[in-house]
Chain A
Amino acid sequence: MNTTQTPLPAGNGFLSGTLPILIAAAIFVFFAGLIPTVAQGDVAQWSVPWIPSLGVEFAFLIDGLSLTFALLISGIGTLILLYSNTYLAGHPQYARFSLFLTLFMLSMLGLVLADDLIVLFVFWELTTITSYLLIGFSHTAEKSRRNALQALFVTGAGALAFLAGLILIGFAGGTTSISGIIAQGDVLRDHALYLPIFILFLCGAFTKSAQVPFHFWLPNAMAAPTPVSAFLHSATMVKAGVYVMARMHPSLAGTDIWLWTLTIFGALTAVFASILALRQTDLKQALAYTTLMALGTLTMLLGHSSGYMMTAFVTFLITHSLYKAALFLVVGCIDKSTGTRDANTLGGLGRVMPLTALAAALAALSMAGLPPFIGFIAKELAYAGSVGAASSPVFVTVMALAANALMFAVAGIVALRPFWVAPGGTYTREPAEVPWQMWMGPLLLAGLGTVFGLVPALIQGPFINSTVAGLMGAGADPKTLKLWAGFNLPLYLSLSTFALGLLLYLSHVKMRRGLEAVFTRVPSLDRGWDSFLAGLKALAAWQTGVIQNGSLTFYLAATFSTIAGGLILTMMISGMPFIEVNFEGLTWKTATISVLVAAGAILTTVTNSRIAAVAALGVVGIGIALMFIVFSAPDVAITQLLVETLVVVLVAVVMLRLPAMTRLEFNAKHAAISGAMGATMTVIILAVLSTPLNRRLSDYFEIASWPDAYGRNIVNVILVDFRALDTFGEVAVVVVAALSAYALLRTTKGPAA
């Protein structure tokens, strides 16, 4: 073989390349420092008030479960950032990439550390948004955009249900503090709202963790660059759903519906996904489906509550994160080195890429569940739990056996064939070992899987025992992780798994064809998604055509009849307001102005000249300005006059260009709408005037204006001092309105203009 090294492209600079790695590493070290605390069974808590009126606190808690997740997230995050810095070296948008990835990592950390339902949800959505950005990173590819949007829609829709579920949980538990709710024991299980809570909560968790039937977005999310897939689909994003199920396990689990729902959906997902994984020839796609299998298994384990099941859950969680991240990164190395990920083409890379091959082998052996790797222990524990499952031991065991055997076969396809079997095709470039930044991550992760398998005591204390204690509460009985547990049923099940797995591996090429034939005939949810979106778009187009038909007359009629209708309805429901009409304050001045205003209004509606209509409208405005002067509000009067002037000028400018007006016909419908609008407004103003004026605020401003704000013009002092923040908001709106109007005017240059 030629020894030409893959040339190392220029780095990405300190700010976008190295700094994120250092941040992630620092976070990892910080959490590692908490291991002794958590191993003793203590928890670390930190909180500041956030929304005191609702009792919502920005609260964080570190216990076994969150520490396990936090270390996996920050540890794998560090390695992924290191890997990406080389994998995507010199990418023109690398800064954006590392920003998204770092933000995603921080959101994920916030999610697993949150000890408040609302905080949890905020971070939950942050992971949705940042993962959307990551999946759609190659935004020039249409497929990438479509798949990112699909992931966003599916998980976003689930998140809405999730939010509703969290609010109900907070309502039922009387607090939004997660630890506070868990401390109350059966409060949720005994609550009348348990069923709605359960359904809404699982909608969120199942969409996020891609359980059947919401699984289809996950394999599509592989459109992202490989390091993203490694991160999102190993320890993070997709595990968020599993995490919340585990987090709320003490409060929600233990009921029959929880047990059976999670067991059935989890088992179906696991087996269905493993079969689909076997079908894939793209290594990355195959791994994506095995992630589904892992999520299904974790869900199934979480359905139960026994010590074996919980211990198996934590062990498999760690196991899967380690080997899956490693394997994704390995596939990235293969892709980078050879330019292909096709299982049929790849082969013979073992000699060329020895370190990558070693990492792949260690990770795959753990994935296959062979001793002495941690995967073996996880599988044994799962079997031990399955044979004593509270749901149906036979169902759970058979499903677990099927999924594990399929996993065994996939491990061989992904990590054995590319390295040790003769290539099935020719490479477009000469493969070579990848630089150290790329092989180190997978090797480290796979190596850890080996070390933990050989010395399970390393993770027993800090992670397994403390997490199981958190999941099971007072009566926790975490099982001891060991490689050799004697000749027992789990061991025989393991041996059957290997036998069955080997059989599947040897016949997978033949089976693939059969599967292909079956799956092309079965309707696919992914294609269903496309027709669903197309239908939605058609509906939106139809609805827009009906509601926004482009006729200004129609818009105005709709707006005013809605307002008038709403007001009349309110009055009908709450009764006619108290109205007292008196003409005491009427002087000849106000009477004259009123007549002028009324005359202007009438002229506006009956004239056949546009200019006359605008001028008559101006008369109305100026009349009102005069009224302000009479009641000594010069500021308001000046503003009114100026605005009126500007409006007349603007409208005149537009009207000069309009075609001559046709003779106006009497329109009964429009007359009715205007009549209703005018009548309701009159009633409302009369009602307002009949209510005694509360002068508390005006009095305060009159007194405080000069001594506090050094201004004698109260109106202006209120605007720029007492209520400056409001004014700031208003001027911001003015700017936004101006810019929007500008944009509209500039884009509507039609042929008529």
Chain B
Amino acid sequence: MNSVILRVGTRYLSGILLIFSVYLLIRGHNEPGGGFIGGLTGAIGFVLYAIAWGTKDAREALRILPQTIAMWGLLLALGAGIWAVLFGDAFFTGQWWFAGADPADPKDKGLPISSILVFDIGVYLVVLGSVLTIVFAMEEEV
């Protein structure tokens, strides 16, 4: 689509959407958000870019094939499940590490790092990659 307004606007919008998508991903555990929503938002950022600038430019901006991103996401999600197995828990049991937490204070969780977050990042990448795989292919086709 050849629209100067859209093109200029997209330059800023896409970036904001991508940052927002990561924000949605990370806050997802306690507030509305999560990997699925984040992935969709991120995908919309690139879809917008593809509409304004064409899929060729969008693919260059993405750098990696969207299919590859989706596959890596799936692998990451699987890894989060195997992580639990390695620690002797059932498959996909959440593994937590509260970085810098004060053990004396039960309310102090420090910086929580978990297999749950890794799983959510996997979901994010799967959704982002899959949606872009379809959208790019469709736009190139028609």
Closest residue of B by beta carbon distance from A719:
B34
Instruction: Tell me the complex Cα distance, A728–B82, Å.
Output: 12
Q: Of B2-10, B25-33, B56-64, which stretch is located at the interface? A: B25-33
- With A649-B51, A656-B142 known to touch, is A742 a contact of B137 (CB < 8 Å)? yes
- B22 sits at the interface (CB 8 A): no
Q: In chain B between 33 and 78, which residues have their CB closer than 8 angstroms to a CB of chain A?
A: 33-37, 40-41, 43-44, 47, 51, 66-67, 70-71, 73-74, 77-78
Q: Which of A136-144, A638-646, A690-698 contacts B (4 or more CB under 8 A)?
A: A638-646
- Please indicate which of the listed interface residues A735, A738, A753 has the most CB atoms of chain B within 10 Å of its own CB: A738
Query: Looking across the interface, which residue of chain B has its beta carbon closest to that of A708?
Result: B94
Contact (A713, B139) CB under 8 Å given A646-B43, A646-B131, A731-B73:
no
Least CB separation from B35: chain A residue: A720
B135 and A650 contact, CB distance less than 8 A: yes
A638, A645, A721, A728: which contacts B77 (Cβ < 8 A)?
A728
Asked if A635 and B81 make an inter-chain contact with CB atoms under 8 angstroms apart, the answer reads no
The answer to whether A734 and B142 touch across the interface, beta carbons within 8 angstroms, is: no
- The reply to whether A753 and B141 form a contact with Cβ atoms under 8 Å apart is yes
* CA distance in complex: A656, B142 (Å): 9
Range class of the A interface residue count: 35 or more
**B47 and A649 contacting across the interface, CB-CB below 8 Å:** yes
- From B96, B109, B134, give the contact of A741 (CB < 8 A): B134
Q: Residue A54 at the B interface, CB < 8 A?
A: no
**Complex Cα spacing A646 to B142, Å:** 17
| Interface presence of A598 (CB below 8 A) | no
- Say how far B109's CB is from chain A's closest CB, in angstroms: 7
Q: In the bound complex, how far is the Cα of B133 from the Cα of A728, in angstroms? A: 19
Q: Which of A650, A717, A721 is packed against the most chain B CB atoms within 10 Å?
A: A721
Q: How far is the CB of B140 from chain A (nearest CB, A)?
A: 8
Contacts of B123 in A (CB 8 A): 719-720, 727, 731
Q: How far is the CA of A711 from the CA of B30 in the complex (A)?
A: 5
CB closest residue in chain A, given B74: A735
A737 proximal to B (CB < 8 A): yes
Which residues of the other chain, B, contact A731 by a CB distance below 8 angstroms? 73-74, 77, 122-123, 126-127
Contact B126 A735 (CB under 8 A): yes
Given A713-B31, A739-B133, A742-B133, A646:B44 Cβ within 8 A: yes
Total count of chain B residues near the partner, CB < 8 A: 53
B14 to chain A, nearest CB (A): 14
A745 is contacted by which of B67, B80, B141 (Cβ under 8 Å)?
B141
Structural contact, A710 and B126, CB atoms closer than 8 A: no
A731-B24 Cα distance, complex, nearest whole Å: 18
Q: Which A residues between 238 and 256 are near B, CB-CB below 8 angstroms?
A: none
A724 touching B92 in the complex, CB below 8 Å, given contacts A716-B34, A738-B131:
yes
Contact present for A725 and B92 (CB under 8 Å): yes
Shortest Cβ distance from B124 into A: residue: A731
- Nearest residue (CB) in A for B40 is A642
Complex-state Cα separation, A452 to B36, whole angstroms: 71
* Interface contact B137-A734, CB-CB below 8 Å: no
State A638–B35 Cα separation when bound (angstroms): 12
Chain B residues within 8 Å of A739, by CB? 67, 70, 133
| A738 and B67 contact, Cβ closer than 8 Å, known pairs A712-B30, A719-B34, A728-B78 | yes
A746 shortest CB reach to chain B, Å = 7
Asked if A711 and B81 sit within 8 Å, CB to CB, the answer is no
A738 contacts which of B24, B81, B122, B130 (Cβ < 8 Å)? B130
Q: Please measure, in the bound complex, the distance between the C-alpha atom of A634 and the C-alpha atom of B120, giving whole angstroms.
A: 18
Most buried by B among A709, A727, A749: A727
Check if A581 is an interface residue, CB within 8 A of chain B. Answer: no
Contacts of A738 in B (CB 8 A): 66-67, 70, 129-131, 133-134
For A746, give the chain B residue with the smallest CB separation.
Answer: B137
Partner of B126, one of A635, A721, A734, A745: A734
Residue B91 at the chain A interface, CB threshold 8 Å: yes
Instruction: Report A-chain residues with C-beta under 8 Å of the C-beta of B43.
Output: 646
Beyond A710-B109, A725-B92, 7 additional contacts (C-beta under 8 Å) are A639-B40, A646-B44, A716-B33, A716-B120, A720-B116, A725-B91, A741-B134
Does chain B have a CB within 8 A of A521? no
* Cα(A643)–Cα(B33), bound, Å: 14
The 8 Å CB contact of A642, one of B35, B37, B138, is: B37
28 A-B interface contacts by CB (under 8 A): A645-B44, A646-B44, A646-B135, A649-B51, A654-B138, A709-B116, A710-B109, A712-B30, A713-B30, A716-B28, A719-B35, A719-B123, A720-B28, A720-B34, A720-B119, A721-B116, A724-B80, A724-B119, A728-B78, A731-B77, A731-B126, A735-B129, A735-B130, A737-B130, A739-B70, A741-B133, A741-B134, A742-B133
A713-B33, A720-B123, A725-B92 as given contacts; A642 in contact with B134, CB under 8 Å: no
Indicate if the CB atoms of B32 and A638 lie closer than 8 Å: yes
Please name all residues of chain B whose beta carbon is closer than 8 Å to the beta carbon of A716 when the two chains form the complex: 28-29, 33-34, 120
A residues within 8 A CB of B36?
Answer: 639, 719
Separation in Å of the B6 CB from the closest CB of chain A?
13
User: What CA separation (Å) do A331 and B111 show in the bound complex?
Assistant: 73
Once A721-B94, A753-B141 are accepted as A-B contacts, the answer to whether A713 and B32 lie under 8 Å apart by CB is yes
Specify the chain B residue showing the minimal Cβ separation from A743.
B137
Q: Are A728 and B71 in contact (CB under 8 A)?
A: no
Chain A residues near B15 (CB-CB < 8 A): none
Q: How far is the CB of B22 from chain A (nearest CB, A)?
A: 15
Residues of the A chain whose Cβ atoms lie less than 8 Å from the Cβ of B114: 710
